[in-house]
Amino acid sequence: FEEPVSFHVIKISSFYNHSWERNLGSGWLGDLQTHTWDSKSSTIIFLWPWSRGNFSNEEWMELETLFRIHFIVVSEAIHRRISELAFQYPCEIQLTAGCELHSGKLSGSFLRTAYQGLDYTSFQNNSCVPSPLGGDAAKRACKAFNQDQRNKDEIHHLVSDTCLRFLLGLLDAGKAYLQRQLSCRVKHSSLEGQDIVLYWEHHNSVGLIILAVIVPLLLLIVCLALWFRKRCSH
Ligand SMILES: *[C@@H]1O[C@H](CO)[C@@H](O)[C@H](O)[C@H]1NC(C)=O
Ligand SMILES: *[C@@H]1O[C@H](CO)[C@@H](O)[C@H](O)[C@H]1NC(C)=O
Ligand SMILES: *[C@@H]1O[C@H](CO)[C@@H](O)[C@H](O)[C@H]1NC(C)=O
């Protein structure tokens, strides 16, 4: 992995009307998805055998509880204060939060929210900072958030200490897998700017690709040779 290495979570909430919403949650090590939030069962799905890093089951249960509360409280607050926040149904709220590692040390942590794809608020230096694009509503939301010191401390702790500790453990747990990869990024006009990153196991896949190209080629040559011999003998 190229440095800096990052771990971040993404949450996309779509609010259709006052009683209908959909939440998508995921966790990412750089470009590689490692976790999914299953909103039906309100649990974390670990996409790789090493996605648990070195966190214990108790710690995962605590995090799951924290995310469950976050999902409920935030949704409830958005529905209740939709006009105060200057949001309108239907709308999409995005949140991304995580940390970055450089030379074994925390080199940055972040939490940003967006409304309809535009920056709304960010978390800097242990405080909520409104984006100019969020207007007065984002200012009010940050003001309310910043009054709660416990909230600020908890978020700061999550995106710096917990995230860094998790990222270090994740890199260690996934070391064998991550070192075996030479990933490949596919850019194509049909993907509409969304690159696809393919990860593969070095030896196996190169072998498979060679096999997939060479075998049909050999068959073609053999067929052609047989066909020529048949024609010549006639
Ligand atoms: C809310 O939106 C959903 C999905 O579009 C729709 O099925 C449902 O009837 C709507 N409910 C109300 C109360 O408008
Ligand atoms: C961060 O906040 C502290 C305390 O509020 C302040 O002293 C410091 O100057 C701030 N740093 C930046 C980069 O804004
Ligand atoms: C996991 O690994 C990190 C980095 O090596 C370490 O700081 C941490 O104490 C370990 N254990 C837990 C439960 O986080």
Distance 170 CA to ligand 3 centre (A): 9
Tens digits of residue pLDDT in 99-115: 999 988 999 999 999 99
Instruction: Tell me what pLDDT residue 227 has.
Output: 86
User: In angstroms, rounded to a whole number, what is the distance separating the alpha carbons of residues 6 and 159?
Assistant: 11
All residue ranges of the chain with pLDDT < 70 are 1-2, 183-211, 234
Residue nearest to atom 13 of ligand 1 (CA): 19
Instruction: Find the CATH number of the domain harbouring 210.
Output: 3.30.500.10
Instruction: Tell me what pLDDT residue 179 has.
Output: 81
* Ligand with smallest separation from the Cα of 20: 1
Total domains in the fold of the chain:
1
* Ligand with smallest separation from the Cα of 156: 2
- What element of type H or E holds 229? helix 202-233
Backbone angles phi, psi at 97, to 5 degrees: -150, 140
User: In angstroms, rounded to a whole number, what is the distance separating the alpha carbons of residues 43 and 58?
Assistant: 14
Pocket (CB within 6 angstroms of ligand 3): 54-55, 165, 168-169, 172
Instruction: Tell me what pLDDT residue 223 has.
Output: 87
Query: Which of 14, 15, 16 gets mutated to test ligand 1 (max ligand atoms within 8 A of its CB)?
Result: 16
Ligand 1, residue 16: give the atom nearest the CA. 2
pTM, two decimals, is: 0.77
Instruction: Tell me what pLDDT residue 194 has.
Output: 64
Instruction: List the domain range (segments joined by +) for residue 51.
Output: 5-233
User: In angstroms, rounded to a whole number, what is the distance separating the alpha carbons of residues 149 and 226?
Assistant: 82
